[in-house]
C-alpha cells in the first residue's frame, strides 16, 4: 500500500525557536510530488511548501524548508523562528498524479 506516516502526533516549540516535523512515505512510483499543508483551528487547508521528487535541491519558502531524502523516503519540514501563527495541524501528502495521499498529521503547539 502506498502510505504516509507522520510518527509525531504532537510537537511543541517555543516561539522564535526551530522545530522539525517528520514524514515518511512509501510508494513504488518514480515520479511524484510531496507537499506540506497546515490546518489551523479555522480548519482551512493551507499549502506551506512543495517538493518535486526528481529535484535533489531541498525546497525553501521563507521560514519553511524541507529535508528530502529520496532513498530513505523521508520528507521532513523545518520551521525556523517559529511564530504563534504557525500553531496548526501539519500534513505531508504526496501525489503521483491527480490524487493526494495523506498521513495522520502532526499537531504543532507554539508556546509564547
Partner 1 sequence: DAGVIQSPRHEVTEMGQEVTLRCKPISGHDYLFWYRQTMMRGLELLIYFNNNVPIDDSGMPEDRFSAKMPNASFSTLKIQPSEPRDSAVYFCASSNYVSLNQPQHFGDGTRLSIL
User: Count of residues binding partner 1 (CB under 8 A)?
Assistant: 23
73 near partner 1, judged by CB under 8 A: no
Q: Which stretch binds partner 1 (CB under 8 A): 18-26, 63-71, 77-85, 100-108?
A: 100-108
Binding test (CB under 8 A) with partner 1, winner from 35, 68, 75, 90: 35
The residue with cell 512510483 is: 29
The b-or-e profile of 3-34 (16+ CB within 10 A means b, else e) is: ebebebeebebeeeeebebbbbbebeeeebbb
CA separation for the pair 20, 8 (Å, rounded) = 10
Pick between residue 87 and residue 89 the one whose CB is nearest to partner 1: 89
Among 9-17, 18-26, 69-77, 95-103, the segment contacting partner 1 (CB under 8 A) = 95-103
Q: Residue 39: which H helix or E strand, with range? A: strand 33-39
**Residue 4 corresponds to which cell in the numbers above?**
504516509
| 52 in contact with partner 1 (CB under 8 A) | yes
Q: Is 98 in the site for partner 1 (CB under 8 A)?
A: yes
Q: Which residues contact partner 1 by CB under 8 A?
A: 31-33, 35, 37, 42-45, 47, 50, 52, 91, 95-100, 102-105
Amino acid at each position: 500500500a502506498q502510505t504516509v506516516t507522520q510518527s509525531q502526533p504532537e510537537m511543541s516549540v517555543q516561539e522564535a525557536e526551530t522545530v522539525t516535523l517528520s514524514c515518511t512515505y512509501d510508494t513504488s512510483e518514480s515520479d511524484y510530488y510531496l507537499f506540506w499543508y497546515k490546518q489551523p483551528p479555522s480548519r482551512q487547508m493551507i499549502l506551506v511548501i512543495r517538493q518535486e521528487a526528481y529535484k535533489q535541491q531541498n525546497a525553501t519558502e521563507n521560514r519553511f524548508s524541507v529535508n528530502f531524502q529520496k532513498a530513505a523516503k523521508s520528507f521532513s519540514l523545518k520551521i525556523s523562528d517559529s511564530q504563534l501563527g504557525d500553531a496548526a495541524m501539519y500534513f505531508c501528502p504526496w501525489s503521483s498524479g491527480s490524487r493526494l495521499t495523506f498521513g495522520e498529521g502532526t499537531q504543532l503547539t507554539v508556546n509564547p
